[in-house]
Every structure is written in structure tokens, then in C-alpha cells.
Structure 1
Amino acid sequence: MTLSWVPEGVDTGLPSAARLYDYLLGGGHNFAADRALAEKFLKAQPNGRTIARLNRAFLRRAVLFLMDQGIRQFLDLGSGIPTVGNVHEIAQKADPEARVVYVDFEDVAVAHSRLILEGDERATIIQEDMTDPAAVLAAAQRSGLIDFSQPVGVLTVGVFHFVAPEKDPASIVAAYRDAVVPGSHLAFSQFTQDLQPEEMAGVVEVMKKSMNPMFPRTKQEITALFDGFEITEPGIVPLPLWRPDSENDDDPDKAGIYAAVGRKL
């Protein structure tokens, strides 16, 4: 049986990180190979579903924080498969005029995003690789939704751990930083080996069998990526410690991911 939301030519037997994340969040846009990989992921990191939930919650808090800073346009890099609580839903609920450009190269993520965004003139998806900033920025400019003379909220949430060291992560972040005006913000989260190193090593091994191997980074390495940004309080912290809405019982030491937001100087 062919599912209507599966783009032609997609190899459903090759698992992807976007569809694995969708499965961990309880979504339905994943295949048997993705679910099999996810179960291996959960054996290596039993807290995987909680980490996915915490990362999604950070995205919501970060978008609302950026809205409070006056940001009304967002570039969401490696946006993945839309689930409830997408950036445009969060931002446009706060201000219907807010604009969002999603960026992903995964076929299912792009196809489903187009379905979700149909009829929304203030949000779109562009199919580009976020590690090619020139192509992404050109496509964002063509969309007509990003005015680079005004502050932009650049989001790299739960995705930069898929950027290999040989891709020169610092130069990628720097390219986006240099393309936006002062007052723009970078919201960032990614897996780290600083938290639960044994589990993280197991996850890295599991993800070697996917099309998206994983490269966790230390707090020091993440700090370096914020060159040219002023990191806002509370700094680079485990997910549940970044401006929580209320008291929570999530163990920061089991969060697996660091989160931070920086303002371009």
C-alpha cells in the first residue's frame, strides 16, 4: 500500500533522523525502518522520548522568548516533520503577522510541511541543506518572507548534532550570523556527551546505521559556536533549565541536550 503522504522515490527502508524524532514524539509520519532504529535508540537511551518532549518544549519557550524580544520572522533550520506546536503556530498565535521559513532536505519532512502550510501565506518550507548557508539564505530571500534588514530568529533546535566536524560547524553558524542584523537571535540545542556519556556513546553507535550519524558536542564546543552572539541568561544549560515555565521534576542530568539562545551583537 502506498501512503498518500510519501513522496515518490523515498526509500522507506532507509531510516532518517527526522522520522525517528517524529516517532519519539508520537507522530505518525515514520516507517518500519525508522521505528526499528528508534527502538535501538531507546535501548541505548531509555530517556529518549522524554528528551524529545523536552526539546520540543524548549522550542516553544525559545520562540516565545524571541517574540518578547521583538522578533517577528523566523528561519527554522533542519525543521523536520511538523507535529503539533510548530514554530508558525506558536509565533502566529502570539502575532498573526509573524513569518516563518522552514528549512529541511528530507523528502517526507518537506512534503508534509507543504501540506500543513497550504494556505498560510506567512509560512513556507524550502528544501535545502542547512549546512549550505548560501543556498539556504538565497532561497529564504526568494521566499519574500524574510527581510534581512530586520532582526531574524534563527532556530537550530535538536539538529546541529547531525553536522559533522568536517563540515566546519563554526563557519556554518558564522555564515548565518553574518547574514542577519544586530538584534537577531540564535536559538540552539543539541546532544552532548557531557550528560550521560555512556548513553550518548550508545546513541552515537546506533545512529551510525542511519542516514544521519550523530556528533555530540561539549559545552565548550557549543560555546564556541556562539561567537559574535551574547548568550542570554541562563546560559548554555540542560533543556529543562532553560527558562522553565514552572517548577518541573525533569532531571537535568538526564536531559541529554544542551540549550541556549544568543543575541547578535
Structure 2
Amino acid sequence: MEPLAELDARVTECAACPRLVAWREEVGRVKRAAYQDWTYWARPVPGFGPPDASLLVIGLAPAAHGGNRTGRMFTGDRSGDVLYAALYELGLASSPLSVSLDDGLTLRGVRVTSPVHCAPPENKPTPGERDTCRPWLVQELEVLAPRLRAAVVLGAFGWQAALPAFAAAGWRVPRPRPRFAHGARVTLERGTPGADGPGQITLYGCFHVSQRNTFTGRLTPAMLRDVLREAAGEARVPPYAPLDSRPHAGG
């Protein structure tokens, strides 16, 4: 088994946080009325994307009736609708829709993950749960490191969780730690300067694709595309098709 696939399989078996285990399983039993016919995933949700990804998108945690239902990051909820539509328009996803594990969606050069792999009550993991889950993100970064060139971090929580993970995976994080802002850009070095092997990575801050942000216009589709486009250029991700041939939504 490939290292990333093996890591993803181990993630799905984690039961380290009792509160999150109880919540994800309760949600899977009770269900939302619209999804009564679904068999909920109700386990930790691994990252999604190819093992040779040079661009990483880091969110917060799976949604109770999104990833916790479908088993894939940002799949089956409105946040995912916004994210994957943007990735598709930039030629980084094979479809603008992310509905279920068997919908055929693939990503090109991009992987989507989060610092917390279980759905938390009210979408709010505790600091302790964030820290307990950090080793999974660290291991993911270590596996991706040889090709990873850029990361888009969605929201302040993700930013605060990601920086220690990058540090633990061998990148040098400036002191004081850079503050989150939409449009923030920070370059981290890894290893000995000038040496062969994984080197620098550029982090981009972006408001989270939450309904609160997208419904109020704090984050528009155009704003999201701009950040993803810049990061994809830094990561040298070739799109599925020329950008000017992709559908372009207003916003």
C-alpha cells in the first residue's frame, strides 16, 4: 500500500477524542431528515487528493452532515459546493460537484485535508482535540513534502493549527508566528538552505468557505478563485484543461 493510502486508512480508525467519537456516531444514528436513506460514514475523514499533490488545501474539520455523512472532505455540504466549484473553474478538479465517494470526482495536483478529522459539535473543535489530531496532519505533510510547494489555509482556526504542524514536519516557522488574514502569504523553509530535497513552501491565508462567509459576501467566489489561482501557480499545478476553456461563474 502506498504511504499516503496507508496513512488515510489509519486515520479512519482513530478514536482518540471521546467527545468527537460520541458526536460523530450520534449524528450518524440520528441523521438529518433529508438524509434518512443514507448510511453515514460516522468515522474520521481522511484527506482527499493524489499522492503527488504540490498544492494542499487545509480546512477546519468535516461537517456533521457533509464529510461525516459522505466520508470525503468538503463533500455533501454547501462549503464543499463553493470549494470544488472554484477548483473546477481553475482546472484543478474534474467536476464542480462533490456529492459522494462514488461520484467520480478527481483532483489534479491538489489535496484537501483538515487539522481535525472528526466532525465536532457546532463545528468547534476544542484546542485539546486540535492538538490530539495534529500528528495526523504532521504525517500527511511529511509524506507530501517532496512535492509540496504551496498550501491554502482556510480560516483562522486552520491557520493556527497548521503552523505548528508545519513546524513539526520540518519547516521553519517565523517567530512571532505570522497572523492569519485573507490574502496573507508566508514562505517557510525546510531543511538546510541550498540542500537537495524538500525546500520552501508558500502558505496562503483565505477566509473559510463557511456558509456564514459565503452568504454574507465576506468571501466571494472571485476572492476564493484568486487565492487558489495564485497558490496553484506557485505550486506549478497543470490544469485539466486551459483555464479559458473552463466555465466561469460570476462573483
Higher share of residues assigned strand:
1
TM-score (norm 2): 0.36
The normalised TM-score by structure 1 is: 0.35
